[in-house]
Amino acid sequence: MTEALSGAYQTLLAAIEAVEPRIAQATRDELKDQRASLKLIASENYASLPVLATMGTWFSDKYAEGTVGHRFYAGCQNVDTVEAVAAEHARELFGADYAYAQPHSGIYANVTAYWAILAHHIEMPALKEFGAKNVSELSEADWETLRARFGNQRLLGMSLDAGGHLTHGFRPNISGKMFHQRSYGTDPSTGLLDYDALAKQAAEFKPLIIVAGYSAYPRRVNFAKMREIADSVGAVLMVDMAHFAGLVAGKVFQGDEDPVPFADVVTTTTHKSLRGPRGGLILAKQDYASDVDRGCPMVLGGPLPHVMAAKAVALAEAKTEAFQDYAHRVVDNARALAEGLMKRGGKLVTDGTDNHIVLLDVTSFGLTGRQAESALLDAGIVANRNSVPNDPNGAWYTSGVRLGTPALTTRGFTTSDMDEVAAMITDVLKATEPTVKDGKPGKAKYEMPAGLAQGTQERAGKLLDSHPLYPGLEL
């Protein structure tokens, strides 16, 4: 199949080349670069060729605002099929009451979920109180009352430097502006979530919504405990599983570690560990289904039918045993990477991992995250700098590098390959020095011994060659 798709891609690229050769060339170069580097960005992956191919069709041309069978545009019968199939796969895969495949990205999924929760808990009761069927019927005075209520709700989410996400109430983000927000952190001595401290904070703050989930926390979360805490203060529990949706789909996270049975609303992206197209998805308990269904026009514009189609294909892939095996190998590989780093002197936040993320504190190498990220990139290792809890270097320079195994596991990397990757990372970081100016080490510039970057790229090349990306695809 790859050979046939290879021919199809060559034909498509030739067609693009005839219109804008620079884009055809950039597309070829991107594949070349992705093939030639060790991709350790924890939020990236490699979607299958069927998933990628599904995005390149005429579904892109269709407007379909509304919901399945209830559109504001004509001629949406095939989009209805696409959206219904994507939602059906999502419900079955995750055991959810309801699924909404329209969000264009993780942030749109979260903002849609927030407004759905506000609609459920604030707008609907107010409409009843004021005797109106919808907001357009409200008098000016009642509308102002409702607007004030919308603006006075409380959100409690994990802080960015403890591993939370911008959309969990970070003040510069819309989530931090829409709500009165507070953040919970991790235990300063262990880096782990402290459920007792969180319960205390929730009891004092009394939020409408508690958000669980993370983008840089290398451990599992007990969602049964999160539910208990939410119930103890009458809060809605929303879980953002964008990072670990693939581990839920692949049945690595089960029981108390599976958010779906415990959360009122679950949001995710579809392109990280889930390995689908770039996009978002919302799952919800039946109670919230009609509120989330109002995502368009409440927050979203027209859905992207070509991306919803690709979500359906990726979700079908995620239902297979092969995907379950993949998800388990992602975690085995992260453990192997963590152990490989620690045995070579690397200091990890929480001293290890039990998901797909490893958070390396690079101050033990005398570097900032920015210097470490750049030195690793020179050596062909792509990872992103990241804050560590209470980071002394702030969010720009940072003290950490976040590493993730979903992408390399897709290429077929094994635990012994990950040990070699750990050796390459520590060899590069041990040999890299911050540039000293006026007797003081800087935070951005660095020096590497001659030949180290090239030598590491060659070392990485051997591993990459033994696990080709899209084998048979020749452009």
Please check whether residue 75 is in contact with residue 263, taking contact to mean a CB–CB distance below 8 angstroms: no
> Can you tell me which residue has the tokens 């927000």?
181
278 belongs to the catalytic site: yes
Nearer to ligand DSN, 127 or 212 (CB): 212
Please check whether residue 186 is in contact with residue 217, taking contact to mean a CB–CB distance below 8 angstroms: yes
Residue type at 49 in one-letter notation:
L
The 54-93 contact track toward ligand DSN, x by CB under 6 A, reads ----------------------------------------
- Of these residues, 219, 272, 329, 370, which one is catalytic? 272
269 belongs to the catalytic site: yes
- Examine residue 432 and tell whether it contacts ligand DSN (CB under 6 A): no
Burial class of residue 45 in the structure, from the number of CB atoms within 10 Å of its CB (0-12 exposed, 13-18 middle, 19+ buried)? buried
Buried-exposed string 74-100: b where 16+ CB fall within 10 A, e elsewhere: eebeebbebbbbbbebbbebbebebbb
Task: Identify any residues that bridge with 237 across adjacent strands, giving them in sequence order.
Answer: 210
- Examine residue 43 and tell whether it contacts ligand DSN (CB under 6 A): yes
CA 43 to CA 308: how far, in whole Å?
20
How many separate helices (H) and strands (E) can be counted in the chain? 20, 17
CB of 44 to ligand DSN, least distance (A): 8
Please check whether residue 200 is in contact with residue 180, taking contact to mean a CB–CB distance below 8 angstroms: no
- Examine residue 106 and tell whether it contacts ligand DSN (CB under 6 A): yes
97 belongs to the catalytic site: no
C-alpha torsion 307→404→399→446, nearest 10: -90
- Of these residues, 44, 65, 80, 427, which one is catalytic? 65
- Examine residue 215 and tell whether it contacts ligand DSN (CB under 6 A): yes
Nearer to ligand DSN, 76 or 408 (CB): 408
- Examine residue 186 and tell whether it contacts ligand DSN (CB under 6 A): no
329 belongs to the catalytic site: no
- Examine residue 386 and tell whether it contacts ligand DSN (CB under 6 A): no
129 belongs to the catalytic site: no
- Examine residue 273 and tell whether it contacts ligand DSN (CB under 6 A): no
Please check whether residue 161 is in contact with residue 387, taking contact to mean a CB–CB distance below 8 angstroms: yes
CA 270 to CA 48: how far, in whole Å?
13
- Of these residues, 278, 335, 347, 445, which one is catalytic? 278
- Examine residue 157 and tell whether it contacts ligand DSN (CB under 6 A): no
What values do phi and psi take at 193, rounded to 5? -60, 135
Nearer to ligand DSN, 43 or 268 (CB): 43
- Examine residue 270 and tell whether it contacts ligand DSN (CB under 6 A): no
CB of 408 to ligand DSN, least distance (A): 16
CA 48 to CA 318: how far, in whole Å?
11
- Examine residue 380 and tell whether it contacts ligand DSN (CB under 6 A): no
335 belongs to the catalytic site: no
- Of these residues, 17, 27, 35, 63, which one is catalytic? 63
**Which residues of the chain form contacts with ligand DSN (CB under 6 A)?**
43, 106, 165, 215
Which positions are catalytic? 63, 65, 240, 269, 272, 278
